[in-house]
Structure formats: C-alpha cells, structure tokens
Amino acid sequence: MTRPPRQAPKLSPSSAATAATSPPVQAWRRGPVLAATALLLGLIMLLHAKITDRWGLGSLVETFLPWFGLCVPVLLAGAVRRRSPAAGIALLLPVAVWLNLFGGLLSDKSHPVSDLTVASHNVGADNPDPARTARALAASGADVLALEEITLQDRGTYEKELARAYPHHTVQGTVGLWSKLPLSGTGPVDIKMDYGPLGDTKPVDVKMGYNRALRTTVATDQGPLAVYVAHLGSVRVFPRNGFWTGSRDRGAEALNEAVAAEPNERVVVLGDLNGTMDDRSFDGLTSQLESAQEKAGDGFGFSYPAAFPVVRIDQILVRGVETDSSWVLPATGSDHLPVAAGISW
C-alpha cells in the first residue's frame, strides 16, 4: 500500500520569524554600541576643529589628538570578541582619519646634511644641575641654541658653561640665545603674559612675563636669519574655568603678529610654546611657518614630560629655509626634552 507524501509541518508565526532571521543577519546586529563608539571616535578626529573651545575643550582634544588612535585596537578587540562585522567596518573611519592626520609622522623623513643646526630647550626652573645641562647642550653640536625658563640664579652658570662653544649670546628675561655666529638687532618681544585666575605658581625669579620672548638676527654665510625665542604661557586646569589657555593663546597671537611683520624672509621660531601644532590656537603661526618635526622628523617627537613624553610642546618652526632633519635630544635634568633640527638654504 502506497503511503501519501509527508507534508512539511506548519510553522507558527513566531517560529517563522525566528527562521527568517538567519545567522548572518544576527551577526550584523551584534555590537551596536561598539559600532557607534567607533563612528563617534572617527567623527571627533575628523571634526576636531569644530569642537567648542568653551572651557578649553577643543584645545584639550587637539592637544592629545594623536593618542585617540589608541582607542582603535581597544575597539577592535571588542569587535572581535563580539564577532561584530558592523563594528569592524565602522572602525575603518577612525583608522582612515588617524592615518590622514598622522600617518606621515610614522616614517623617517630626515636627511643627514644641513647648513645649520638649531636647538631649543626649556631648561627648567627646578633643574637640579644646570651645569650638566649646559654641557650636554654644548655637546649636541647645535650652531644656534635657544634656552627657556632661565632663572636669575642659574643664568651665570649657563653663560659660563656655554661661553667656549658659543661666543655670541643674548638673554632677555627668562629666555636666551647662544650662537656660534654673530648676533644683531636683538630685542624683547611682548607676548602679553597673563597668569590666570590663580596667578603664577613659579618662583619669583621666573615670573618675568614681560621678558619671555626675544627676536634677533643671526649672521650666516648664506645671509641673515631672523630667530625668535619664546616661552608662551602655561595651560592649566581650573575647577571653574576648565582647561585654561588664555595666556598661551594671547602669546601665540602676539608671536604670530611679530612673525607676520618680520621683514626677513628667512625665519626660525624656537621655544616652549606650551601647545601642539594641532591646536587651533596656533593656526596663525602654522599658516606662515612650517613645523620642522612634521616636515623632516622621525615619529612624533614628543618632548614633555621628560620622564614619559606624551606631547610635543617644544617647537621649531621655519619659514624661507628647508628643514633637513628634526630630532629629540636626550634628557638633561629638566622636565622637558631638548629638540633640534637641521636646516639649509
């Protein structure tokens, strides 16, 4: 006797909906928070210039912008653990933005030959051994050496230790320039210091805000070179004011105006600017000057704090000359690392 063909069992509406949701579709629904976080990270880096600077938020983000890249492997690990293809694809945005912003710093762009070597160092008001610092800087071979945060009690030590290597020098307040080549046209630059709501916390002998920048001309074989040395105001965190950058920002604008009015087409700016070149406060300077580290460095060139550098706030900026190389010198006892660059005509 022939059996009738078996009919497929009818599915209830709930069972049919479950069957319709195939495993690939379920996979795409995993990790929505991870995917959203990855997209937000990419948008923050992409649109960092649009972030409000109220309470200094914009400057704070831009100061540590390179470190946002560390969030990518963390989110990637989460995406792998959750087996979330959506989160993995969303991570392409922050990766692409970060590489566009900082990918050029990952390769060595330096060239070994240059006409002149310049260096800059915030020697630190609390430096326990300024004599050792001076000898280390002289041994660097720099032709032009800028120092910031020179205290009254340590000025004589630097002048004594650097005299043999650098026959020409000038000190204006707490900044100075030592040179193997003659100097002329030296004078202070007003960078409009303001110590903020709580005043200055540094010792009295380094509170000379009216003399924290200078301008001079170095006589080179290729012609005159205008050199600026500056120590801009510190950035601080206040309970009511947030990330306070007022003094630094005013100093950056004053320095920008001085450089814009500079008649010499060849210009070098050296100093502790208390900010990274990603910070919007330096848009005026970066529009007319080139960062030595970005042009010819190897890596990010972080210079502060010396024990574990996380930001580059010590800068070498140039105009009218070529940057051949840029590097960070070994620690000297200061809380900053010295920075140096080779330039040519």
What CATH number has the domain bearing residue 156?
3.60.10.10
Residue bearing tokens 């030296």: 186
| Domain assignment of residue 200, yes or no | yes
* Angle made by CA atoms 222, 161, 120, in degrees to the nearest 5: 50
Mean pLDDT throughout 63-70? 96
Distance CA 236, CA 55 (A): 11
190 and 70 co-located in one domain? no
Mean pLDDT throughout 286-296? 97
| Domain assignment of residue 57, yes or no | yes
Last residue of a domain, one of 106, 131, 146: 106
93 and 211 co-located in one domain? no
Helical segments of the chain, H only:
13-20, 23-28, 32-46, 57-63, 71-82, 85-90, 92-102, 130-138, 152-162, 246-260, 283-286, 292-296
pLDDT band at 55 (very low <50, low <70, confident <90, very high): confident
Distance CA 281, CA 120 (A): 21
Eight-state DSSP code of residue 237: E
Number of domains in the chain: 2
142 and 244 co-located in one domain? yes
pTM over 0.85: yes
Distance CA 131, CA 56 (A): 38
Query: What integer pLDDT is reported at residue 209 of this predicted model?
Result: 44
The two beta strands, 267-272 and 223-231, are parallel
37 and 165 co-located in one domain? no
Mean pLDDT throughout 154-169? 98
Percent of the chain scoring above 90 in pLDDT: 79
The parent domain of residue 257 ranges over 116-344
Query: What integer pLDDT is reported at residue 23 of this predicted model?
Result: 63
242 and 170 co-located in one domain? yes
- pLDDT higher than threshold 70 for residue 202: no
Last residue of a domain, one of 84, 106, 128: 106
Sheet holding 116-122, edge to edge: 168-172, 175-179, 144-148, 116-122, 339-344, 322-328
| Domain assignment of residue 111, yes or no | no
53 and 120 co-located in one domain? no
Give me the residues paired with residue 237 across strands. Answer: 243
312 and 265 co-located in one domain? yes
Decide if 281 contacts 58 (C-beta within 8 A): no
Last residue of a domain, one of 106, 134, 154: 106
Tell me the average pLDDT of the chain: 90
| Domain assignment of residue 12, yes or no | no
